[in-house]
Homo-oligomer: A and B are copies of this chain.
Amino acid sequence: MENLIDGKAIASRIHAETSATVSELAAKSSLKPGLVFVRVGEDPASRAYVGMKEKMASEIGIDSRTIVLDEKTTQDELLGIIADLNSDTAVHGILVQAPLPSHIDERVIFSAVDPGKDVDGFHPVNVGKLMLGDTSGFRPCTPAGVHELLIRSGVETSGAEVVVLGRGNIVGKPMAAILMQKAAHANATVTVVHSRSRNVAESCRRADILIAAMGSAHFVKADMVKPGAVVIDVGVNRIDDPSAKRGYRLVGDVDFENIQPLAGMITPNPGGVGPMTIAMLMHNTALAASRAIA
């Protein structure tokens, strides 16, 4: 399987780099980056995600803690907590774990986080900077992680036809923004394909780099992939599986088994994009701390 993009290995290298940055910060200014997770309610997936992120932070030397709030927390109470974290100089990164309960407007919450502490990259200022080619902001972790996978796997993006499947705010749209920029490791011809697109298979077959972020189990079939294309699978979908202990298993947006033989390079899933999201979160947190002392 020589065409596999090993997300775990690349994520470890990024963690090592972040760890080195954290050590430099400690040496230079006795500063330890501080990251606070805010979790509302007891969604099991959110608990698991935050747990993994906390563990990794501690391994890297980032001070992290999680504020767990009751499911019934009001939007105003949450805004108050964010305001306190914004003004706390020991806190360099704030991550409010989505999804939030339906009585809380995520847009209001994400916009309330100080853009300089918005290590998730969801604040409009950071989205705008990304779009404008202004590198002083924070990039959302998953598309930034895909970008690092491409760069560190030696994939040429300049002039490449990229098809991004999906136009969500967390992956699809920022992914397109990153790769269309006039910049090194970008300069791609990007097409964003989504639920309203016609000729989806035909568009995908044109792609030199196909990034699947629809959230639809095994949506991308072998006949939608040009032989030799680079295929990145961002999807995490639950499908029923009575043979599994939990009654389901997680699969990607890409029919890996049938596409791996014809792809130029491909991410496994799990073990591809997933570890990169956490790696970029740690990177963003160290960056936020570095900028705080600059």
Contact = CB atoms under 8 A, between A and B. Distances in A.
A99 interface: no
A194 B182 contact: yes
A254 interface: no
Nearest to A188: B196
A118 to B, nearest CB: 11
Interface in A154-210: 158-159, 161, 167, 169, 173-174, 176-177, 180-182, 187-199, 203
B189 A133 contact: no
A123 interface: yes
Contacts of A199: 161, 189
Interface stretch (A90-98, A124-132, A284-292): A124-132
A192 B173 CA distance: 13
A134 interface: yes
Interface in A105-160: 107, 123-129, 131-134, 137, 158-159
How big is chain A's contact interface, by range?
35 or more
Contacts of A195: 182
A124 to B, nearest CB: 3
A177 B193 CA distance: 13
Nearest to A132: B169
A12 B155 CA distance: 49
A131 B134 contact: no
A28 to B, nearest CB: 27
Given A107-B134, A134-B107, A169-B133, A158 B196 contact: yes
A124 B123 CA distance: 10
A105 B294 CA distance: 21
Given A167-B182, A187-B196, A189-B193, 17 more contacts: A124-B126, A124-B137, A127-B128, A128-B128, A128-B129, A128-B131, A131-B169, A131-B173, A131-B174, A159-B197, A167-B181, A180-B194, A188-B196, A189-B199, A190-B191, A190-B192, A191-B191
